[in-house]
Structure 1
Amino acid sequence: MTNATRLGLPALTALVVGGIIGSGIFSLPQNMAEGAGAGAILIAWAITFVGMLTLTRIFQWLSTSRPDIDDGVYGYAREGFGRYLGFNAAWGYWISAWIGSTGYLVVMFSALGSFAALSFFGDGTTLPALLCELAVLWLVHSFVLRGVQSAALTNFVVTVAKIVPIGLFIVCAALMFRVDVFRIDFWGSAALGSVTDQVKNTMLYTVWVFLGIESATVYASRARNMVDVSRATFLGFIITMLLLVCVSVLSLGIVPQHELAAMKNPSMAQVLAAAVGPWGAALINIGLIVSVAGALLAWTMLAAEMLYLASRGERNTAPSLFGRVNARGTPAPALWLTNVLVSGLLLIAYLNASGYNALIQLATSMALIPYLLCAGFSLQQAMHAPQPSTARIGLTALGSAYGVWLIYAAGLKFLLLSMILYAPGLLFFLWARRERGEPVFANRGEQLAAGVVLVLAVTAVVAMLSGKLAL
């Protein structure tokens, strides 16, 4: 790959923003209001700002202090915690990405179903929606097969296009904002629980809308230089934080929290309709379709890239089959497996009428452990640096604490559900170890980690069969 064909700062920043700004922002007003009042939402955003800024700074620091690691989340976890946990970071991130892609397709056709002429798409889980979702998925698949560089340039254009309707929403909402509406049930009703419970209720959604903050590090091996990776990560965080907070908070000044919580998604369309009339809903639904198309492209690329990174080279921990690229540099085998699984999940969503919220909560839970492992690796690096910095140690410790908090806030339910999806990864890990003719586990710690995953997965399956656990 020549320097001219490598990804520069604009393309990398667009990958971060394009990966983060997908469907989540369009459903954010209802998602946040569903479990919290305005006061708790403000606290949740404050925690999210500090936590995600910390993770952003961690990814920035790692990209410049360890330029030898050019495979992002997977590389950091592998370097810090060994082959098996490194593999699981890649596995969890990969699954999170393709489940998220499934959610994007469902919400895209749910938005199309809001138009009278296309009402047969319903909430995105009808048979016509399923058939069209599959057609769109494999169209994107064929496009990405033509090369990551051309897909990244298209993503840049789509990212710019998707910000326009969001910006218009923010302007209209700011002009129509009413303080008296914002103050209604400011700390939430008794049914929502304590403020602490309300803040916890929002955490999976705040993490979901920020998934992709590490996108630039995933493409580090394709970047012109690591400085661009660092800058793109920070720029992407600032841009998306401003957009997300404005959409979430300003909506509470247009529609009272209890009405917002009951809205159909994409709730952003309903909020703008309440502010300016029906044309507002149509505009946002069109914006959502454009945005989700771009996010689907970005996450299709990210999912395939993560599996490819874990499978390539002499330190692979996933089967080498998925570490191959086609003549245009696209990891084709990884892309094929990813989109076959997305197709299967779309079919399951149709048969079980699993909507957008259920899919994104599961996708988010799969990303929590990879984030925690990256933060833990950065803490290791800070503590064992030749000249340890107290500020750096404090930053990385805070990032690690935030990672633990996210798993706690998500709750035991999603931890168990995620283990069901982590457990099959052991078969892929065994496949890769057998290919290399090496022992499966390097030490007792890896054996213990695998045992914990399997025990929790079995516990979750038993709980689901007995009706005690459900998505």
Structure 2
Amino acid sequence: MGTATDGKLNVWALTALVVGSMVGAGIFSLPATFGRATGGLGAIIAWCIAGAGMLMLAFVFQTLARRRPDLDSGIYAYASAGFGSYLGFASAFGFWAGTCIGNVSYFILIKSTLGAFFPVFGEGNTLAAIAVSSLLLWAFHFLVLRGVQQAAVINSIATVAKMIPILLFIVVLVGAFDRELFSLNFWGTPMAGSAADLAHLDDYGRIGHAAGELVLPAESLFEQVRSTMLVTVFVFLGIEGASVYSRYARNRRDVGIATVLGFVGVLCLLVLITLLSYGVLLRPELAGLRQPSMAGVLEAIVGRWGAIFISIGLIISVLGAYLSWTLLAAEVLYSAAHDQAMPAFLTRQNPHQVPASALWLTTLFVQLFLLLTWFTEYAFTLALELTSSLTLIPYLLVAAYALKLAASRETYENAAGERGKDLLVALLATAYALLMVWAGGLKYLLLSAVIYGPGTLLYIKARREQQRQVFNGFERGVFAVVVLGAVVAVYGLASGAIEI
């Protein structure tokens, strides 16, 4: 299922990898996340920005797959080809670290979902939750060790299975949609609600008091939209899935087709889930839902069975997405090591042609962050936004490389007619990635530096193995900025200026 007879992945298997990677934890958290931040108008603007920006990135991956078919594992290889070995390493390492922390958010959300029925799991970061998550983590580790193609088949099945509750949710909300209620929610103006409705708003420090009630804050439309930006990035993570797996593709052109097909389908789901929710509950009610908030929305319409149904769908979805992201993470480490940007031990494969050393490092990193969630009060929010921040740097470098190719005319010697369109697309994709980095704020850039800084030890080890100069002048400056950011972040955490 989903593979060619020669063991290669066809366009539908590649599309399933893209959809399976993107449809995970984030989509089930949208009603409450957007309800806390903005109304219908702000949501429409946010999805227009995110949709247009990510579509440009999807086109960039499609263009680069065509212009540079010699580069496999695109998220790393493009940055390395365009900006040198250290930024290539940073792209691979940032994508890998973001993927690992994204996987941590999946485990948190699974246990938070179960916490609605079994209080011992709380919000997903209790000791019991961490213990069960660790068991799941290692079970998947040994599953993936059995083979990439086998795991891809399982992912294709999971992708189909998790679409059922999501599509049912949309159908039920279409039937229950109230235009008057949507109008009340449209402008994103402050609305009062009971303390019970808004019990979870303190996650975001957005509690106000008026006549004994809690109130959503009065924010400008600009601030409302900005506060959704990292969330929109998170739900689109995985758009590069087909590109990362390009070396397994039966036809290189299928990589670009799968990327665009997966993106368009997922964008439609995200917009419908967000906007339809404004037509069934008031913003304070949406904002007060515990995660996964899709379960609470459906429960409000059809009763308790709706929450149970969505919860089951979420667990299937998250486990399938976790499998996709684990495959992506190990593949990026392996490819970077194969190109000598990572230490040689990460090139080791087992008899099933799985990059076993890369997979072991991935699993250990996820395990470490799972343990750290015990010390973090709002673990899901932190994992979601830190994942987005880490992954934005690789996205920015990929877009910038496409811009560099078009601007320098490299690879366009026999395709001058395509250059203008590709230049515009790459420029828009680069601008979008820069906008998202800015919208995410300084806090998450500094926290990202805490991960990038020590991670550079892998790069230093690789360069010494090859008896090469570690940094050139430009790269030394980049590393100095990363170290400075890490120092500032550690000081901020120690002093309380940065809270997690």
TM-score > 0.5, shorter chain as reference: yes
From 430, 439, 446, the equivalent of 2:475 is: 446
1:147 corresponds in structure 2 to 147
Greater CA deviation, 352-361 or 276-285?
Answer: 352-361
Comparing 1-10 and 153-162, the one that deviates more? 1-10
Return the offset for 1:452: 1.0
Matched, 1:406 2:436: yes
Once the 2 structures are TM-superposed, how far is the Cα of residue 113 of structure 1 from its aligned partner? 2.1
> Is 1:469 matched with 2:491?
no
Q: Find the counterpart in structure 2 of residue 255 from structure 1.
A: 281
* Superposed CA RMSD: 1.4
Q: Secondary structure at the match of 2:16?
A: helix
Give, in whole Å, the separation in 1 of the partners of 2:262 and 2:311: 24
Residue 371 in structure 1 maps to residue 401 in structure 2: no
The farther-off stretch of 207-216 and 388-397 is 388-397
Decide whether aligned partners of structure 1 residues 157 and 323 sit closer, same or farther in structure 2, where only a CA change above 3 A counts: same
**Counterpart pick for 2:456 among 426, 430, 433:** 426
Partner residue, 1:282: 308
Aligned-partner Cα distance in 1 for 2:273–2:185: 19
CA contact (8 A) 1:19 1:299 kept: yes
Give the 5 Å matches for 1:27-42: 27-42=29-44
| d(CA) in 2 for partners of 1:324, 1:63 | 26
* Separation in 2, partners of 1:38, 1:111: 26
2:327 to 274, 278, 301: 301
Q: Write the distance in 1 (CA, Å) between the matches of 2:459 and 2:422.
A: 34
Larger mean Cα displacement after TM superposition, 150-159 or 1-10: 1-10
TM-score (norm. length: structure 2): 0.91
**CA drift at 1:7:** 1.2
Superposed CA deviations along residues 305-336 of structure 1, whole A, max 9, x for unmatched, are 11111111xx3111111121111011111111
2:187 aligns with 187
Partner of 2:349, secondary structure, is coil
Contact 1:59/1:230, CA 8 A, preserved across alignment: yes
Partner of 2:209: none
Change (3 A) 1:192 1:425: farther
The sequence identity of aligned pairs, in percent, is 45
- Aligned residue for 2:281, secondary structure, equals coil
Partner residue of 2:485 out of 456, 461, 468: 456
Query: How far, CA to CA, are the matches of 2:449 and 2:163 in structure 1?
Result: 36
Q: Check the 8 A contact 2:185/2:278 in 1, yes or no.
A: no
Whole-Å Cα distance in 1 between the matches of residues 454 and 36 of structure 2?
33
Q: Mean Cα displacement is larger for which, 191-200 or 231-240?
A: 191-200
The answer as to whether partners of 1:303 and 1:338 remain within 8 angstroms in 2 is yes
Q: CA deviation at 1:355?
A: 2.4
Shift of 1:375: 0.3
Residue in structure 1 matched with residue 467 of structure 2 by the alignment: 437
Q: TM-score, normalised by structure 1?
A: 0.97
Match of 1:212 in 2: 238
Deviation of 1:351 (Å): 3.7
Shift of 1:304: 1.1
Contact 2:112 2:124 (C-alpha < 8 Å) held by counterparts: yes
Q: Which residue of 2 aligns with 1:19?
A: 21
State which drifts further: 209-218 or 189-198.
Answer: 189-198
Q: Distance in 2 between matches of 1:379 and 1:151?
A: 35
SS where residue 6 of structure 1 aligns?
Answer: coil
On the 8 A contact 2:73/2:331 being kept in 1, the answer is: no
Contact 1:38 1:257 in 2 (8 A): no
Which amino acid is 1:145 matched to? L
How far apart are the structure 2 equivalents of 1:389 and 1:143? 44
| Regions of 4+ moved over 3 Å | 351-354
Distance 1:2 1:110 in 2: 39
Secondary structure of 1:107's match? helix
- Measured after TM superposition, the shift of residue 465 of structure 1 is 1.4
Q: In the alignment, is the contact (CA less than 8 A) between 1:16 and 1:212 conserved in 2?
A: yes
Among 279, 282, 291, the alignment partner of 2:317 is 291
